[in-house]
Amino acid sequence: MQASENSHDDFLFIDDSDEDEILAFGSNETWQVLIVDDDPEIHSVTQLALSDLIVLGRRLEYLHAYSGKDACQLIENNDDIVLVLLDVVMETDDAGLNVVKYIRETLQRKDIRIVLRTGQPGYAPEESVIKEYDINDYKTKTELTRRKLVTTVFAAIRSFQQIATVNENRQGLEKIVSGATELSSQHSLSTFSQSVLSQLRTLISDDVSAVFCARGQGIIDNIDDLSFYVLAQMGFDDSLLNQKIDTLQDHQASKQVKGCFLQQKHQYLDDSLNLYVAKGDYRAVIHVKLSSPLTEIQTQLLNVFLTGVAVGYENVHLFQKLTNAAYRDWLTNLPNRLEFVRLLDDFAQNECKNTVAALIDINHFSDINDALGQDIGNKLLSAVGQRIQSIGSDCQLARVGADVFGIIGPADCLTPESLIALFHQPFAAGEQHLPINACFGLCTKEQAQSSGVQVLNQINIALNIAKKNRLEHFAYYHSDIEDQMQWRLNMIRQLRNDFANNCLELWYQPQLSLTTGKVIGAEALLRWRTADGKFVSPAVFIPLAEYSGLIIEIGDWVITQACKQLKILEEDFSDLSISVNVSIPQFRQDNFVDNIINTMTQHGIKPNKLELEITENILMDEPQIIIDALTKLKAQGISIALDDFGTGFSSLSYLQKLPLDRLKVDRAFVTDINKEGQSVIAETIINLGQKMQLKVIAEGIEEIEQQERLIELGCDEVQGFYYAKPMPGEEFINFLHQQS
């Protein structure tokens, strides 16, 4: 302080004894006040003047700085300073103002109150500076009587507390808003509850302990009582989760939680809180252990926060209901197809390799539903779901279709043997005890692709293969299966295109009489010549045509081509007939018989010139449909032949019902017919044909010895490479001319 100021020091802090002082009894807490002046005497008299002052329940604690530089350092190192009594002129004329700038601009401390003092009125800052830097007061030292100093300090500290309260409220509200954002992102009850407790800590204190409690019924799986259960905890132990509140072994806490729930209001105690959360039909209690009582501001903020918690608690329950509706099966309460795809996503991306995903398809479930009713069917599905769950606690089960279940679990648990064993005993459905079995499609983690949808497709492929397997009712997916499927799809696409572009041909293999040696007809055989001139074997493309349904169009085309060929043969070989193969999909057409008759009529062909060949195996699926259709065709004069007789599994009883004209001995029984002991089956078929007054034709003749043996056995007709290979229509006509 400059020497010229000393003349005014005598007037500093004159006693105004006629005024009441602002004094009160206080606590042990203090307000930190920084005195900044280059004159040590000012420090002493200021501290003396304020020595007994208690402001808002606290005494003053003093810090001292004798220069602007020291003041800046002290303020930077002490966050608890609330008031600075600051000399304007010290080491420089603007040293005090530089301290103000440092506080407000560099340290960004907007809360500290600043009172400027100067011994020289001429050094007063501009009014604009006082406003810009939020200076609490400006006084010359001669103005500051003790009473006025006390009043100034009191006003400054009260202003600080108001700012601090506003800031604390603002920060608290920011925490509430931030917490509400986090809570709104929680969609499960457990994560929501845990997040609420985390937010409570930020509002109250890091050292609180808390539990989030609610009645267990309808909230915790497999819990059906109204006891209070711990949904989340903080500061205790995770073993409490989903356990009764009594597990906490704190009788007082249990009593307070139940009391809060019944009274339906918050309980604020010195050492604990019981916070009642309620919205709509959803209620809970948060029990909090406190290390110190709440402040008034904390209580206010907590009430605001709990309003948002109550809304969030209802929302998470409603979201859970929506999730259950979207991802749970209503009948079995198992995850549904959508959720199973999610589980398969985890399965596909999990690092654990020793796992398997599978589909379980109940065989002939629709028959049970139709015969016993949907109610019994539903009870059966529930019983199946319950039994499958017993396979292992580590397995995840879902109902992915009407009668299809999905399961994921350890490879040593989900084996074909363990899955099949689940169906050894009948299932109770109401008063019914139903024996059922199932098919299983499985995929190991090693074979699984990267997404749940892809894995579901893989196990579905395996399941379809298992359904077609007559010996084993299970199949594992492997990569070759998909390659085969892709090849099949490509072949079907190519077959469809080539058929549309007239790339299919009908060839003819002559059939001869063993008695006369003359050609009596021909078997029409389908040939597929691709664009590159190569042939695809009928053994390959006929099953593909049947699988794709294209066989119906191709079959109609074959009948038409055979009729056209018969019309050509009428000129010189009117006594010949043509034999055409037909498949089960053709028989399933309602207009199959009419189409054949109409085609023959359209081309003017006599019915006895066309022969239809059926294989024994097509009788296995729907024999009566076949028998009815053949009977109608036979009545029109069309000849019927049974091909590959003896290679299938049909009953001989059907043989008597079929309106046959010819039996065909398969090449499998002809190949070694001339060897000793190898002609028994062929001989049996020939004898059977003779007794049933049917013509018998053998195919696959390649050697003279085979022909001679067939003559000995009394066979009527033959065909094979020994006589002629299949040939196009024009070549067949030329062959006939050469033979004649």
Residues 594-613 have pLDDT tens digits of 999 999 999 999 999 999 99
- Comparing C-alpha atoms, which of 75, 141, 154, 140 is closest to residue 112? 75
Span 420-443, mean pLDDT? 94
CATH architecture of the domain 337-477 equals 2-Layer Sandwich (3.30)
- Its sign, for the CA torsion 26, 29, 31, 34, is positive
Span 283-290, mean pLDDT? 92
DSSP H or E run through 718: strand 717-719
Q: Would you state the pLDDT for residue 479?
A: 83
Instruction: Look at strands 535-536 and 519-529 and give their pairing.
Output: antiparallel
**Top CATH class, 186-326:** alpha beta
Span 344-372, mean pLDDT? 92
Q: Would you state the pLDDT for residue 177?
A: 55
In this structure, are residues 410 and 355 in contact, taking their beta carbons and an 8 Å threshold? yes
How far are the Cα atoms of 213, 226, 231 from residue 257, in angstroms, in the given order?
8, 13, 13
In this structure, are residues 417 and 442 in contact, taking their beta carbons and an 8 Å threshold? no
- Residue 341 CA neighbour count, 13 Å, CB half: 9
CATH number of 491-739: 3.20.20.450
Span 729-739, mean pLDDT? 94
566-585 pLDDT, tens digit per residue, is 999 998 899 999 999 998 88
**Residue 571 DSSP symbol:** T
Length of the chain: 740
In the numeric block, which tokens belong to residue 343?
């589980």
- Annotated domain spans of the chain: 30-168, 186-326, 337-477, 491-739
Q: Would you state the pLDDT for residue 362?
A: 96
Q: Which residues of 653-671 are buried (b: 16+ CB within 10 A; e: fewer)?
A: ebbeebebbbbbbbbebbe
Is the pLDDT at 710 greater than 90? The verdict is yes
Q: Would you state the pLDDT for residue 138?
A: 67
Q: Which residue type does 39 have?
A: D
Instruction: Look at strands 30-36 and 404-410 and give their pairing.
Output: unpaired
- Comparing C-alpha atoms, which of 148, 150, 95, 152 is closest to residue 118? 95
Q: Would you state the pLDDT for residue 463?
A: 95
Span 692-721, mean pLDDT? 95
Give the lowest-confidence range in 198-212, 252-266, 495-509, 711-725.
198-212
Mean pLDDT, all residues of the chain = 86
d(CA 327, CA 396): 14
Q: Would you state the pLDDT for residue 18?
A: 39
Q: Would you state the pLDDT for residue 137?
A: 67
Q: Which residue type does 267 have?
A: Q
In this structure, are residues 359 and 405 in contact, taking their beta carbons and an 8 Å threshold? yes
Q: Which residues of 250-288 are buried (b: 16+ CB within 10 A; e: fewer)?
A: beebbebbbebbeeeebbeeeebbbbbbbbeebbbbbbb
Q: Would you state the pLDDT for residue 651?
A: 56
- Comparing C-alpha atoms, which of 16, 72, 80, 9 is closest to residue 41? 9
Q: Would you state the pLDDT for residue 623?
A: 81
Q: Would you state the pLDDT for residue 19?
A: 38
- 190 versus 620: which is more confidently predicted? 190
Instruction: Give 5's pLDDT tier (boundaries 50, 70, 90).
Output: very low
- 3 versus 677: which is more confidently predicted? 677
In the numeric block, which tokens belong to residue 670?
């002809």
Instruction: Tell me yes or no: is domain 30-168 CATH 3.40.50.2300.
Output: yes
d(CA 541, CA 543): 6
Q: Would you state the pLDDT for residue 176?
A: 52
Which residue in this structure is represented by tokens 């406003």? 131
d(CA 102, CA 538): 95
Percent of the chain whose predicted confidence (pLDDT) is above 70:
88
**What is the C-alpha radius of gyration for the chain, rounded to an integer number of angstroms?**
49
374-414 pLDDT, tens digit per residue, is 999 999 999 999 999 999 888 999 999 999 999 999 999 99
In the numeric block, which tokens belong to residue 603?
């081309």
Percent of the chain whose predicted confidence (pLDDT) is above 90:
50
DSSP H or E run through 46: helix 40-49
Choose the most confident range, by mean pLDDT, from 147-156, 303-312, 381-390.
Answer: 381-390
533-553 pLDDT, tens digit per residue, is 899 999 999 999 988 899 999
Burial level of 645, CB count in 10 A (0-12/13-18/19+)? buried
- 409 versus 156: which is more confidently predicted? 409
689-698 pLDDT, tens digit per residue, is 999 999 999 9
Q: Would you state the pLDDT for residue 4?
A: 38
